[in-house]
Amino acid sequence: MADTQIRASADALLRAPTSPRGPRDPAAIIRWTLLAMGAIVMVMPIVYMLSASLKYPYEMYNLNIIPKEPTAENYTYVLSDGRFYRWFLNSFIIATCTTVSAVFFDALVGYALCKFRFRGRYIVFIAILSTLMIPTEMLVIPWYLMSRTLGWLDTYWGIMFPGMMTAFGTFLMKQFFETVPDDFLEAARIDGLNEFQIWWSVALPMVTPALSALAIFIFLGNWTAFIWPLIVTNSQSLYTLPVGLTTFSVEQTVDWELIMTGAALATIPTLIVFLIFQRYIIRGIAMAGLKG
């Protein structure tokens, strides 16, 4: 008897409409269709990348998603190439150093712009923001000339310096520091902390979601950076992963299966970072939007 009742309830639940206005609500259908289309557009390149990494070269230009003869040979080849590990390490070092530096300085500058009153504060903020409107491609030439003059070409520092502080990060952190009441800082001031200690011990811990989100943005951005590392480096030993993968493409042939394999492997750290910290990314974007 009880079993029948449970089954009836389950059937009723299964029959329950999926949206408040019923399953055939035209607005819901349009919404879900658009969402599905968007998801397909976003996911397809990744699916194709994974598919291509499992294909033999002869099958490369067939658009089938499931390889006729799946193979792990590409992974074996790429992972047995010592250069891959070097590039992976380079990318990791550069992305990590840049992230630490950018988070530190963006938070420091954002705090100063938010919490200190000084002449020209607004102009400095606008000047920093205005750099967001200049595309990277336009900055590459001055960066290159600067690197050449200062002897930074083909060095880690040369790859990293443009990203050591970011306008976006400064803006994001400034917006977040607006949410920290001044009373906290004044209480710390009365308790005898200097301004740097107040920033470090009181203000920063109160904006950890923003710091996490910013760290992820910057890490991902530097992990996938291509144009500037390509221009500033000559030695293969200094290549980052995206730049190194291009060596699989030579004058006459392009080893797409190896490029796709390298790209698939390169995605793993970013996926891990994203899966762990995704709630911070979403909260960071949402809060920055609200405050902006």
Query: Which lies closer to another protein via its Cβ, residue 159 or residue 204?
Result: 204
Neighbours of 191 (CB within 10 A): 11
H or E element, residue 110: helix 82-115
Task: Identify the CA nearest to 110 among candidates 240, 264, 214, 219.
Answer: 214
Q: Which residue has the tokens 């819901």?
A: 28
Query: Which lies closer to another protein via its Cβ, residue 136 or residue 208?
Result: 208
Q: Minimum distance from CB of 115 to another protein (Å)?
A: 13
Distance in angstroms (rounded) separating the CA atoms of residues 86 and 91? 9
**What is the Cβ-side half-sphere exposure of residue 77, based on CA atoms within 13 angstroms?**
16
Q: Minimum distance from CB of 187 to another protein (Å)?
A: 4
Q: Minimum distance from CB of 176 to another protein (Å)?
A: 14
Q: Which residue has the tokens 């992230």?
A: 99
Torsions phi, psi of 249, nearest 5? -115, 115
Distance in angstroms (rounded) separating the CA atoms of residues 96 and 227? 18
Residue 24 per-residue DSSP state: T
Q: Which residues bind another protein (CB under 8 A)?
A: 181, 183-184, 186-193, 202, 205-206, 208
Q: Minimum distance from CB of 212 to another protein (Å)?
A: 14
Q: Virtual CA dihedral for 204, 205, 210, 211, nearest 10 degrees?
A: 70
Query: Which lies closer to another protein via its Cβ, residue 154 or residue 195?
Result: 195
Q: Minimum distance from CB of 211 to another protein (Å)?
A: 12
Beta bridge partners of 249: 254
Query: Which lies closer to another protein via its Cβ, residue 86 or residue 189?
Result: 189
